C-alpha cells in the first residue's frame, strides 16, 4: 500500500508508539483487502463492549500513548451508578465498567454510551468517509445517509479514530456499493416491528448487498435501525438499499450499477411468521420482565410506551434502554414520570448484553427486538418476541397470549 509521508511517519513511530500500533494494524487490514492507499476519516464510532479482551486492546493503546485524533462516539456498556446503587452488579463487573470508562475517557472518546449515534450525536453527510463499528450503525450510515464506512470492528474503528485514516477498500469504493440481491418483499409491513423480522431473514437473503422492493413509504428511522440491527444479527451486512428510498438507489439501474441481480429472493408473511417462531420463546406463558431499546430507543418509541402505560400499573419490571440525550428529553416531556409511576424505568447508557443483567438469569422477558433476545441468551435470559404494543400489554397483564 502506498503511504503518504505523514502516514509512514505514524507507522514508524514518529508520532508515538500508540499511533504506530494502530497504524500497523490498519496497514495489515489494508494489505489483506488489497487497499492501494489510506484515506482520511471525519467521524468514527467504536462499539465498546465492556469486555476483558476489548478493554485489554484499548488499555494497550492508551499505555502506549495513543489519543484519538477523531473523537469517536462509543457504544453502551452499563450505567454504573444505576446498577451499583441498586446492588445489581458485582464488584468485579463494576470495576470492569469503571476501567472501560476511564480508558475511553483518557483516549479522548466522546462518552456517549449509545448504539444509535447516527440519528443523534454522530450524523454523517452524504459521501463522508467514516469508520463505524456496531451492527445497526454501519448499515445506517452507508444505506440511509449515503456516507461511507466499512463494517469495522471495535478495534479497527478505534485505530482509525487514533490515526485519522482508514485503508480504502470495500464499501469506500463506488464499485462495491452496488446491490447484488433483489429482495421482493411480499410480506405485509405494517409497523417498525416487521422490519425486525425482515432483518432477521439474513439466511434466506444470503451474502451481499440486498436491494429491497415492496416496502411501503414512509419508512421511519426506527424501521431502518431495526432492519440494520437484525440483518447483522442474522448475517453480516455493511449496506442495503431500498429502491426509490435510500440515496444510492433511486432506480434499479442505479442500485445494481446497470447489472442484473445475482439472486432474487422473495419474502412472504409465512417467512416472517416462521422466523418469529424459531427465535422467540413460545407465547401463552407468564412473563417476568420487559426490556426495550435494542437498538437504543428513540424519543418517539419512548412516547409510544408512555402513552400506553399512562395511569396504569405494570405487573413486572420494565426497562427502556436509551441514550442519555433521549432520557433527558423524556424527562423534560414528562414521559419518564409516567413510566416510573407505572412501575417501569428508562435506563441510559446500557445494553442488554451486559453483566448487569445476570440476576435475571433463568427468567423469561418480553421484547420487540430479536437482537435483544439473541445476545443475552448466553447469560441465561430468555425472551418472547412480539410487536411493541403486544409487549406493553403483556407487561401490564403479566402474561403473553
State which of residues 192, 222, 349, 353 lies at the interface with ligand F3S (CB under 6 A).
353
Q: Give the span between the Cα atoms of 100 and 93, in whole angstroms.
A: 10
CB nearer to ligand F3S: pick between 80 and 181 = 80
CB nearer to ligand F3S: pick between 115 and 182 = 115
Q: How many residues bind ligand F3S (CB under 6 A)?
A: 14
Burial class (CB in 10 A: 0-12, 13-18, 19+), 293: buried
- The DSSP annotation for 318-377 comes to EEEEE-HHHHHHHHHTTHHHHHHHHTEEEEESB-SSSGGGGGGTT-EEEES-HHHHHGGG
What cell does 380 get? 441465561
Of 4-12, 78-86, 190-198, 345-353, the window that binds ligand F3S (rule: CB under 6 A) is 345-353
Q: Of 385, 369, 351, which Cα lies nearest the Cα of 192?
A: 369
Is 97 one of the binding residues for ligand F3S (CB under 6 A)? no
Is 77 one of the binding residues for ligand F3S (CB under 6 A)? no
State which of residues 123, 333, 375, 393 lies at the interface with ligand F3S (CB under 6 A).
375
Which of the 8 DSSP states describes residue 142? I
Residues 26-45 that bind ligand F3S (CB under 6 A): none
CA dihedral in degrees (227, 228, 234, 235; nearest 10)? 140
From the CB of 194, what's the least distance to ligand F3S, in Å?
Answer: 18
State which of residues 30, 72, 76, 167 lies at the interface with ligand F3S (CB under 6 A).
76
Q: How far is CA 296 from the centre of its chain?
A: 8
State which of residues 48, 160, 209, 351 lies at the interface with ligand F3S (CB under 6 A).
351
Residues 291-320 that bind ligand F3S (CB under 6 A): 294-296
41 Cβ contact partners less than 8 Å away, ≥ 6 residues apart: 70, 129, 130, 131, 160, 164, 165, 166
Binding mask 227-256 for ligand F3S (x = CB under 6 A): --x---------------------------
- Report yes or no: 330 and 336 within 8 Å, Cβ to Cβ: yes
Is 352 one of the binding residues for ligand F3S (CB under 6 A)? yes
Is 371 one of the binding residues for ligand F3S (CB under 6 A)? yes
Burial letters for 202-238: b for 16+ Cβ neighbours within 10 Å, e otherwise?
A: beebeebbbbbbebeeebeebbbbbbbbbbbbbbebb
Residues 106-125 that bind ligand F3S (CB under 6 A): 115
Residue 11 is inside which H or E element, if any?
helix 5-12
Of 35-43, 166-174, 209-217, 289-297, the window that binds ligand F3S (rule: CB under 6 A) is 289-297
State which of residues 26, 50, 73, 75 lies at the interface with ligand F3S (CB under 6 A).
75
State which of residues 136, 142, 155, 298 lies at the interface with ligand F3S (CB under 6 A).
136
CB nearer to ligand F3S: pick between 46 and 147 = 46
- Report yes or no: 256 and 179 within 8 Å, Cβ to Cβ: yes
CB nearer to ligand F3S: pick between 156 and 196 = 196
What cell does 151 get? 463494517
From the CB of 100, what's the least distance to ligand F3S, in Å?
Answer: 14
Q: Give the span between the Cα atoms of 87 and 379, in whole angstroms.
A: 18
Is 48 one of the binding residues for ligand F3S (CB under 6 A)? no
Q: Footprint of ligand F3S on this chain (CB under 6 A)? A: 75-76, 115, 136, 229, 294-296, 321, 351-353, 371, 375
Amino acid at each position: 500500500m502506498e503511504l503518504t509521508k505523514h502516514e509512514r511517519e505514524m507507522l514508524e513511530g514518529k508520532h508515538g508508539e500508540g499511533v504506530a500500533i494502530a497504524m500497523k494494524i490498519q496497514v495489515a487490514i489494508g494489505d489483506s483487502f488489497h487497499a492501494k492507499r489510506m484515506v482520511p476519516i471525519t467521524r468514527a464510532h467504536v462499539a465498546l463492549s465492556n469486555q476483558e479482551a476489548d478493554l485489554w486492546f484499548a488499555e494497550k493503546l492508551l499505555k502506549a500513548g495513543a489519543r484519538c485524533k477523531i473523537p469517536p462516539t462509543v457504544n453502551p456498556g452499563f450505567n454504573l451508578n444505576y446498577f451499583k446503587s441498586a446492588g445489581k452488579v458485582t464488584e468485579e463487573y463494576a470495576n470492569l465498567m469503571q476501567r472501560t470508562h476511564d480508558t475511553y475517557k483518557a483516549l479522548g472518546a466522546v462518552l456517549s454510551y449509545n448504539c444509535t449515534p447516527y440519528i443523534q450525536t454522530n450524523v454523517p453527510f452524504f459521501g463522508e468517509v467514516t469508520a463505524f463499528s456496531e451492527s445497526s450503525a454501519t448499515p445506517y450510515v452507508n444505506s440511509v445517509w449515503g456516507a461511507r464506512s466499512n463494517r469495522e470492528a471495535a478495534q479497527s474503528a478505534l485505530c482509525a479514530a487514533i490515526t485519522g485514516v482508514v485503508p480504502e477498500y470495500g464499501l469506500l469504493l463506488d464499485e462495491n456499493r452496488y446491490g447484488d440481491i433483489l429482495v421482493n418483499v411480499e410480506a405485509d409491513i405494517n409497523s417498525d416491528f416487521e422490519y425486525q423480522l425482515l432483518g432477521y431473514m439474513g439466511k434466506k437473503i444470503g451474502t451481499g448487498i440486498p436491494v429491497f422492493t415492496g416496502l411501503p413509504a414512509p419508512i421511519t428511522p426506527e424501521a431502518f435501525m431495526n432492519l440494520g440491527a437484525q440483518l447483522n444479527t442474522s448475517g453480516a451486512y455493511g449496506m442495503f438499499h431500498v429502491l426509490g428510498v435510500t440515496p444510492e438507489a433511486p432506480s434499479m439501474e442505479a442500485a445494481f450499477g446497470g447489472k442484473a441481480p445475482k439472486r432474487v429472493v422473495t419474502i412472504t408473511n409465512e417467512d416472517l411468521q416462521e422466523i418469529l417462531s424459531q427465535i422467540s420463546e413460545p407465547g401463552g406463558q407468564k412473563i417476568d420482565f420487559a426490556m426495550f431499546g435494542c437498538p437504543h430507543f428513540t424519543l418517539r418509541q419512548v412516547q409510544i410506551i408512555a402513552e400506553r402505560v399512562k395511569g396504569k400499573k405494570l405487573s413486572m419490571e420494565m426497562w427502556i434502554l436509551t441514550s442519555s440525550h433521549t432520557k433527558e428529553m423524556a424527562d423534560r416531556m414528562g414521559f419518564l414520570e409516567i413510566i416510573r409511576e407505572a412501575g417501569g424505568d428508562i435506563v441510559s447508557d446500557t445494553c442488554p448484553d451486559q453483566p448487569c443483567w445476570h440476576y435475571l438469569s433463568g427468567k423469561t422477558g418480553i421484547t420487540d427486538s430479536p437482537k435483544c433476545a439473541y445476545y443475552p441468551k448466553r447469560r441465561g435470559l430468555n425472551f418472547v418476541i412480539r410487536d411493541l404494543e403486544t409487549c406493553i400489554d403483556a407487561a401490564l397483564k403479566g402474561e403473553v397470549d
